[in-house]
């Protein structure tokens, strides 16, 4: 089952359930743009970085021109896989797999800083946006991995990876194949997706069973 001493357990090739919410449970996604900006940041961090030759720019300083590459933020392509996610008005859930130690911490620090700067500028506020450091529990065991994706996708939000799992969307930086592979034995792609949908939605009444390993409730 998931290890509950958050963040302290940092293991390569491991899955983590990552959670954070607004300070004092405040709303962190106030409109559609906020959701889309957060997802855009995830996309930027998890997609292949641009080639240097494609982003070379000319800079002028005190009348002298220079050619070079602008600052490039951290990139986690092929370093972190986003298995599932859900964004709610005052919190979010991510299920990720990090390939090496420290990558998840770096990703979460990067996205929290960037989104907080965007949010504070947009809404003319100052101070902390999130309730302290994120929480992260290492997830071990196939059963817990599967049920955790179910828990994430049962949240009533249009801003989740459930569409990728049902084949409604194809998002390159979301990786549902690992989980769906457990439903694919001797089945067509269509049957595989139907099986996962049934797994998620036929057990809504059993949501309480997940409380033993989810991180928190908003």
124 has a pLDDT exceeding 90? yes
**Going along the chain, which residue ranges are E strands?**
14-21, 57-61, 64-68, 80-88, 91-98, 135-139
Question: Which range is least confidently modeled, 36-45, 70-79, 135-144?
Answer: 70-79
- Which has the closest alpha carbon to 203: 163, 157, 158, 143? 143
Task: Please check whether residue 94 is in contact with residue 103, taking contact to mean a CB–CB distance below 8 angstroms.
Answer: no
Residue 9 forms part of a structural domain? no
Residue 2 forms part of a structural domain? no
Instruction: Give me the domain span that covers residue 152.
Output: 14-212
pLDDT in tens, 39-52: 999 999 999 987 66
The distance of Cα 153 from the centroid of its chain, to the nearest Å, equals 13
Task: Please check whether residue 137 is in contact with residue 93, taking contact to mean a CB–CB distance below 8 angstroms.
Answer: no
What is residue 63's predicted lDDT score, i.e. its pLDDT? 77
Residue 80 forms part of a structural domain? yes
76 has a pLDDT exceeding 90? yes
As for how many domains the chain has, the answer is 1
Task: Please check whether residue 14 is in contact with residue 97, taking contact to mean a CB–CB distance below 8 angstroms.
Answer: yes
**Residue predicted with more confidence, 202 or 175:** 175
| pLDDT, mean of residues 55-75 | 69
The pLDDT confidence band at residue 57, using thresholds 50, 70 and 90, is low
pTM, 2 dp: 0.84
What is residue 74's predicted lDDT score, i.e. its pLDDT? 84
What is residue 183's predicted lDDT score, i.e. its pLDDT? 84
Give the three-state DSSP class for 130.
strand
Report the CATH number that the domain containing residue 99 is assigned in CATH.
3.30.70.1290
What is residue 6's predicted lDDT score, i.e. its pLDDT? 52
Q: Residue 24 corresponds to which tokens in the numbers above?
A: 């004092």
**Residue predicted with more confidence, 119 or 58:** 119
| pLDDT, mean of residues 108-123 | 96
Residue 7 forms part of a structural domain? no
115 has a pLDDT exceeding 80? yes
Task: Please check whether residue 44 is in contact with residue 73, taking contact to mean a CB–CB distance below 8 angstroms.
Answer: yes
The pLDDT confidence band at residue 2, using thresholds 50, 70 and 90, is very low
104 has a pLDDT exceeding 60? yes
- Which has the closest alpha carbon to 130: 91, 160, 82? 91
Residue 5 forms part of a structural domain? no
The distance of Cα 143 from the centroid of its chain, to the nearest Å, equals 20
What is residue 38's predicted lDDT score, i.e. its pLDDT? 98
| pLDDT, mean of residues 91-109 | 95
Residue 162 forms part of a structural domain? yes
pLDDT in tens, 153-168: 998 889 999 999 999 9
What is residue 45's predicted lDDT score, i.e. its pLDDT? 96
Residue 144 forms part of a structural domain? yes
């Amino acid at each position: 089952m998931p290890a509950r001493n958050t963040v302290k357990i940092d293991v390569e090739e491991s899955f983590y359930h990552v959670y954070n919410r607004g300070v004092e449970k405040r709303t962190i996604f106030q409109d559609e743009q906020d959701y889309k900006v957060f997802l855009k940041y995830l996309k930027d961090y998890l997609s292949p970085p641009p080639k240097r030759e494609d982003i070379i720019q000319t800079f002028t300083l005190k009348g002298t021109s220079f050619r070079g590459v602008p600052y490039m933020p951290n990139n986690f392509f092929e370093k972190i896989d986003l298995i599932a996610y859900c964004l709610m008005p005052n919190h979010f859930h991510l299920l990720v797999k990090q390939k090496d130690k420290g990558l998840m911490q770096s990703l979460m620090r990067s996205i929290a800083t960037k989104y907080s700067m965007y949010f504070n500028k947009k809404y003319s506020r100052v101070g902390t946006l999130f309730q302290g450091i994120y929480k992260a529990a290492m997830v071990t065991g196939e059963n817990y991995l599967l049920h955790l994706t179910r828990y994430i996708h049962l949240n009533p939000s249009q801003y989740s990876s459930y569409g990728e799992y049902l084949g409604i969307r194809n998002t390159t930086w979301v990786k549902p194949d690992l989980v769906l592979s457990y439903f694919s034995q001797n089945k067509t792609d269509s049957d595989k997706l139907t099986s996962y949908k049934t797994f998620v939605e036929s057990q809504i009444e059993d949501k309480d069973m997940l409380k033993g390993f989810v991180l928190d409730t908003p």
